[in-house]
Amino acid sequence: MSRADDTPVQPRRPAPGRRLLLKGAAAAGALTAVPRTASAAPRKAAPYVNPLVRNRADPHIHRHTDGHYYFTATAPEYDRIVLRRSRTINGLATAEESVVWRKHATGAMGAHIWAPEIHRIGGKWYVYFAAAPAESVWDIRIWVLENSHPNPLRGTWVERGQVRTAWETFSLDATTFTHRGTRYLAWAQHEPGMDNNTALWLSRMANPWTLTGPQIRLSTPEYDWECVGFKVNEGASVIARNGRLFMTYSAAATDANYCMGLLTADADADLMNPASWSKSPTPVFTSNDTTGQYGPGHNSFTVAEDGRTDVLVYHARQYREISGDPLDDPNRHTRVQELGWKPDGTPDFGVPVADTAKAGA
């Protein structure tokens, strides 16, 4: 969640109106592409600069009580964690970028620095990210940094270590949220013996770097659109509105087939019961030929400067065709747009908006 200072997510009224995973499984997991590209007329664009930040994938924006937005994302070199801050969302486009942590030269956390998220928990800052050993670059796991300074661009980032899950398998894309006083971690991981790359998992937390109790599987790739190129559910993000929790996630290979799915749970339900979560059978946010945006996904949520309007944060490319491995293509750009709400209280993602006519103006 991108909420202020560890505030539990609460329902409210509607607003108006990675990857190449388990690389060796490519041949076994590849399926024929299912045409999913929409061509519907785009909804009126929000007054945001798009792309907001170029060459930054898996974006996460946290609005804090100090009046600033904090931004982090995957750098295409996969070697560092960066932060920006601004008093406005558009201001993140030109805000100075600071490197707050770099990968290790050898050993753990030495390769594939992916998908950082910044969260404020209990008066401290935490960054969750994925990394692999320098000597075994696909043994990717979830790691945590901590900073006790009020300004995360200052102070010292302490390595709190690996988030230990039930298995030592490919795992990434951790996000954390609170609901009714309980903190949860959601993440993507390969389950031993399963014919997929990653499924989505949920667990309660004992502290910001330790899970407690069981971990449950929320979703596994099962629909054709989740299995194009790779069988992937990853990049979860949570928003609570209108008496429900909505968990978005991304699916398929990281090319133009990348898209977003949605899980929904009632706010009164036991979140640790898999039966509490229902899964949309079709993707909720996909590539769009009309607006020229491809592979939208790995989103987060934040709130506009008015404190009420929900904002969708995600990455996409400006072209469909990619030469070579999509992970070697650096042009996944951070984008933002207003998140709408339907009369039934469910999110209206619309389509990825077109580029701003004069980006950076």
Q: 157 CB contacts (<8 Å, ≥6 apart)? A: 100, 101, 127, 145, 146, 147
Q: Which of 58, 173, 226, 310 is catalytic?
A: 58
pLDDT at 47: 83
Taking only the tens place, the pLDDT of each residue in 140-176 is: 999 999 999 999 999 999 999 999 999 999 999 999 9
Cβ(314)–Cβ(254) under 8 Å? Answer: no
In angstroms, the CA 210 to CA 204 distance is: 9
Cβ(155)–Cβ(149) under 8 Å? Answer: yes
pLDDT in tens, the chain (361 residues): 333 344 344 444 333 334 433 333 333 333 333 334 444 444 443 489 999 999 999 999 999 999 999 999 999 999 999 999 999 999 999 999 999 999 999 999 999 999 999 999 999 999 999 999 999 999 999 999 999 999 999 999 999 999 999 999 999 999 999 999 999 999 999 999 999 999 999 999 999 999 998 999 999 999 999 999 999 999 999 999 999 999 999 999 999 999 999 999 999 999 999 999 999 999 999 999 999 999 999 999 999 999 999 999 999 999 999 999 999 999 999 999 999 999 999 999 999 999 997 544 3
Any idea what the Cα angle at residue 12 is, between residues 8 and 15, rounded to 5°? 130
| Known catalytic membership, residue 58 | yes
Q: What is the DSSP letter of 330?
A: -
Q: Which of 6, 234, 255, 338 is catalytic?
A: 234
In angstroms, the CA 327 to CA 258 distance is: 12
Q: What is the DSSP letter of 199?
A: E
Cβ(68)–Cβ(62) under 8 Å? Answer: no
Q: pTM above 0.85? A: yes
| Known catalytic membership, residue 117 | no
In angstroms, the CA 126 to CA 85 distance is: 15
DSSP characters over 242-285 = TTEEEEEEEES-SSTT-EEEEEEEETTS-TTSGGGEEE-SS-SB
Computed over every residue of the chain, the mean pLDDT equals 89
Taking only the tens place, the pLDDT of each residue in 1-50 is: 333 344 344 444 333 334 433 333 333 333 333 334 444 444 443 489 99
Cα 264 to Cα 186, 247, 276, 285, 337, distances in angstroms:
14, 6, 8, 15, 21
| Coil, helix or strand at residue 102 | strand
